[in-house]
Chains A and B, each alone.
Chain A
């Protein structure tokens, strides 16, 4: 049985990726399960979806614990433990990362024994093209199994996206074909994992825990606004930057429209953007009367900061 997990951010089309791959498997005659992990559906928040495919009926249920292939659509998720990207990765698991960085970098960073592949980005994806990443990942995954033809992938894309505009479907088919071709050298690298049975499961050794006092088991939180400890700035793919030479210092505009309480009035009256919490919605960019706030890609901003720190 093939067990494949897709990790990405809400809006990148991970659910669609699992559907496209599932349908491609189905066209090839497999029994298939594909599902998105149920949870709160948030743009920018970590999301995953998974596919099981086998030649016989599938009795396994639930989230895939031991994947044969893990596809990561957004490489910034790898260090986010809540995203669970690394969960259950064994020596035979193939890791495919959509990243601007090299295989070597990822190998050193993650210290994994299994194969790591990098899916180089076809185009600098515009925010509006974010959802194409899912199609790209699905097609690359299909190629890596070595048992799905390009024709089946194309048919699956057309079938799953049939409700979209013709131009968008064509663009997705084109992107799928490109990703499939770029992975050709690694076709068949993903090996089917064996079947598992609940009989093989290692029974955990149970430890008795006495019931705690209510004050310890459900302590009350008296602190105000503790949510600031959560760094939602990690969601951001674009960063708003204030050009003070054009800024009118009317922070009641950007500061009122920011839905995340992330813009304050700084000491000189310029808006101060709280980058630990700005989720990158870009409402401030759209609403700034003198267009003094611009959006730059987060990766670029981080690189500039590093350069600034080094010099």
Chain B
């Protein structure tokens, strides 16, 4: 029922709550997601921001938000959210704020804090059943300091910590699966380049209580090595190639909200980005490209079989 608000692109808000004039890079895919999320959640939102790119959103005395914003260290944003939620609950219990004045508590964090430095505090917050939304903008590296490797860096990508320039040998950590294993109220993957899918999921998330996670892949012109104008194109290709599955988890079940069909080869996505250029130049690195494609194929194989069968 709540999803009825966003049927077409035309239904998306035409004015944005988030103020312009922030320090985010031109073409920032993370800022695109945060802008779209804020539009759906509305003004009664308080952000608890783990250190990262987005902490530069609010630099005193300038803020793009219409309400409060709290800055925490990388590891402790969920703890900050707990404190804010508790305070709001006390105000509610004492009758000092009405239910309409209550705020949605949102942790805003990059992948470095979400999947690495801040993971244990997050896990504990889910264990306690904290009523909050955890919004992660995942630009697949420590972007604010020049794109060093994080646990969300994808296989083969070059980062600033890769002195040998051979590409990340590890594999991107599956933060969605980690959250689902903790049995939250809701979890979803989104991307700014698919605003309608994002708006529907946020609309659903805001109507629920308990721990909820929104994981937004955030194309990053500076860190991924592409011209800012390609941000949305790259976001779309992440979905069309199946490298970024759009899905949601609720009531113990994970559902894919998009089945890319026909699924494009991953190299259509990879070749637009400087961080993967070494897979194509001076010579194609066929084994590496195959490894990446195989991993994506393996992910989709059961879903595609089920779809074909049904």
Residues in chain A within 8 A of chain B (CB atoms): 10-11, 40-45, 127-128, 163, 165-166, 221, 224-232, 235-236, 250-253, 255-257, 259-262, 264-265, 274, 276-277, 279-283, 285-287
> Can you list, as one digit per residue, whether each of B1-35 has a CB less than 8 Å from chain A (1) or not (0)?
00000000111101111111111111111011001
Question: 0/1 per residue, B144-166, Cβ < 8 Å to A?
Answer: 11100000000000000000010
> Among the listed B53, B61, B63, B192, which residue makes an inter-chain contact with A40, where contact means beta carbons less than 8 Å apart?
B53
Q: A232-B20, A281-B229 are in contact. List 19 more A-B contacts (CB 8 A).
A: A40-B144, A41-B145, A42-B24, A43-B228, A165-B282, A166-B282, A224-B19, A225-B17, A227-B19, A230-B21, A235-B26, A255-B14, A259-B28, A260-B22, A260-B24, A274-B20, A277-B21, A281-B26, A282-B227
Contact A227 B231 (CB under 8 A): no
Chain B interface secondary structure, helix, strand, loop or mixed? loop
Measured between beta carbons, the chain A residues less than 8 angstroms from B143 are: 41
Q: Closest residue of chain B to A163, judged by CB?
A: B165
Total interface residues on B, CB under 8 Å, equals 56
A-B contact pairs, 6 of them (CB 8 A): A44-B25, A224-B66, A232-B20, A252-B10, A281-B231, A286-B233
- Take A45-B23, A259-B35, A274-B20 as given contacts and tell me if A283 and B227 are in contact as well, using a CB distance cutoff of 8 Å: no
Whether the pair B16, A261 counts as a contact (CB closer than 8 A) is yes
Contact between B26 and A256, CB atoms less than 8 A apart:
no
Chain A CB within 8 A of B170 CB: no
B20 smallest CB distance to A (angstroms) = 4
A45 to chain B: which residues have CB within 8 Å?
Answer: 23, 25
Nearest residue (CB) in A for B58 is A227
CA distance A235 to B67 in the complex (A): 27
A210 to B85: give the CA distance in the assembly, Å. Answer: 36
For A284, give the chain B residue with the smallest CB separation: B229
Check B24–A259 contact: CB distance below 8 A. Answer: yes
When the two chains form their complex, are residues B19 and A225 in contact, meaning their CB atoms are under 8 A apart? Answer: yes
B25 touches A257 (CB 8 A): no
A253-B9, A256-B9, A262-B20 given; A227·B64 CB < 8 A: yes
Given contacts A40-B144, A42-B23, A42-B25, contact A261 B18 (CB under 8 A): yes
Name the prevailing secondary structure of the A interface residues.
Answer: loop
A229 touches B21 (CB 8 A): yes
Check B22 against A257 for contact (C-beta < 8 Å). Answer: no
Chain A CB within 8 A of B129 CB: no
Chain B window 39-76, contacts with chain A (Cβ cutoff 8 Å), 1 for yes, 0 for no? 00000000000000100111011111111000000000
In angstroms, Cα B232 to Cα A231, docked, is: 24
Residues in A neighbouring B19, C-beta threshold 8 A: 224-228, 261
Find chain A residues with CB under 8 A from B53 CB.
40
Most chain B CB within a 10 A radius of its CB, from A43, A230, A259, A261: A259
Give the docked Cα–Cα distance between A40 and B146 (Å).
8
A236: which B residues are within 8 A, CB to CB? 26
A228 to B62, CA, bound (A): 8
